Structure 1
């Protein structure tokens, strides 16, 4: 009951911050170009209110879950919450806008989105910690994640295969979900060449830099939640679900109508990104929560 009320309190803070930050940074009411206005047919008016409410509730629930399962407290926890909110909810998503949407967005609009995310994060992070009474140390029950690497070479191997996993999920979801919609293909002035191998060959030929970029994004996704992974205290199965939700909850904002992306394209991207990010987050969480293999000494002494 108390946790639910705190989630509602944090959701209210986020909901109030959205229009304030949008107004301060110039995101609210940017002029749409004629082309973008024609590209985006009218959406149900109620969704413009319902979608932000849903986003605030879900984001507040996930941030609260991260906070109550973390051993951190005080300003260290505030910094971790800011990294999660701004890193996952703004930085990681707007990298895609910089790469793929420059001709669809007004000049300087992405910079204003970055500023908006930073403003909300700077206020919401300490508010979240205060709401959950975590400015002072508080005991958190549960075992420590046993899959955290203990040596630099282990970190390199872990991050390398997680980056490769993200690249695979990114392109698989893009091809088999987003590019099944002809509206998405037309929106990016692209073409669907058919099979997945042929599509990957086309991407490799035209934009080979996209592969290392997405590998870097895979590592950055992990970096944004790493403080909460290493400080997590709870049941092992919780961590994969928590990170899966943390990676995917921000995409709910694709439900919000906007003049720059048609509804059909937004809905395809919503399914594509929520599903792939959730799966990737679960894989990340499971890789750190998995049981640590017993050493030879432990095997001998226990007789197993």
Structure 2
């Protein structure tokens, strides 16, 4: 047992180093500024991400290309797609804060990092050999995914109002003062909710046990940990408030989503 834990820790460290340099090199490749002075924060993020992803890969019954694609979908969607589509939607409100030219670069960087990270994680954990694990979705599963989507919408607005806003304080009105939520914000969040449901379903199908905890940690840590990185576009007070909001709401989402999907 001790030998196994030692080997797992070593794999997490190696994977974290791979992720750390993936972020640095991909930033150079797409033309994003390097935050060298925030290297310790990036290393912390890399270690946290490597830990929760290693937990997922090590417990997965899938392997080979299927596991790589599953991990790519999970990592890219959580760390890039689900966050940046909101940036695009509200770009007109942040035009003076976030350069529009950054957005496509962030999407491309996300693809590069997710691809390198996914392949490396499966390779480092010795799961490159393909297996014949089944993946099927029944009609009733779509009903469960609909409930997960509705759950996400409820969590999105309730945690935004009762967790994020109080923690942000006056900084909320300074940073989001001109922000007005359009009518289509609810359909957008329903769409995002279905993506979250799909990711939860992948985890349920891919791993043998501890589905709730594995999903909750992936959802919470992968997205919230990014807010540990200081950035020029978001004040520290706003960043901290978002960190608490996302870390808690995504953990609940991941745990309850699995329960819902198992029920259906």
| TM-score for both structures, normalised by structure 1 | 0.76
Mind listing any 5+ residue stretches in structure 1 that lack a counterpart?
31-44, 192-202, 293-304
SS in 1 for 2:154: helix
Deviations 1:24-60 (Å, cap 9, x if unpaired)? 1112259xxxxxxxxxxxxxx97x2332111111111
Q: CA RMSD in A?
A: 2.5
Q: Is the 8 A contact 1:179 1:185 kept in 2?
A: no
Tell me, yes or no, if structure 1 residue 249 matches structure 2 residue 221.
yes
Selected match of 1:159 from 145, 158, 168: 145
Distance in 1, matches of 2:81 and 2:125, equals: 25
Change (3 A) 1:151 1:78: closer
Distance in 1, matches of 2:18 and 2:132, equals: 26
Tell me, yes or no, if structure 1 residue 240 matches structure 2 residue 227.
no
Mind listing any 5+ residue stretches in structure 2 that lack a counterpart?
1-5
Where is the helix percentage greater, Structure 1 or Structure 2? 2
Name the structure 2 match of 1:132: 125
Name the structure 1 match of 2:3: none
Selected match of 2:204 from 208, 216, 229: 229
The correspondence of residues 279-298 of structure 1 with structure 2, limited to 5 A, is 279-289=252-262
Deviation at 1:139, TM superposition (A): 11
Name the structure 2 match of 1:15: 20
Selected match of 1:187 from 175, 184, 192: 175
Structure showing greater radius of gyration is 1
Name the structure 2 match of 1:213: 188
Change (3 A) 1:58 1:29: closer
Selected match of 2:77 from 73, 76, 87: 87
Deviates more, 1:15-24 or 1:102-111: 102-111
The correspondence of residues 10-49 of structure 1 with structure 2, limited to 5 A, is 10-29=15-34, 48-49=38-39
Deviates more, 1:168-177 or 1:220-229: 220-229
| TM-score for both structures, normalised by structure 2 | 0.87
Name the structure 2 match of 1:4: 9
Deviations 1:93-131 (Å, cap 9, x if unpaired)? 111211234422112211111111101112111111110
Distance in 2, matches of 1:108 and 1:254, equals: 21
SS in 1 for 2:128: coil
Distance in 1, matches of 2:86 and 2:75, equals: 17
Distance in 2, matches of 1:164 and 1:227, equals: 19
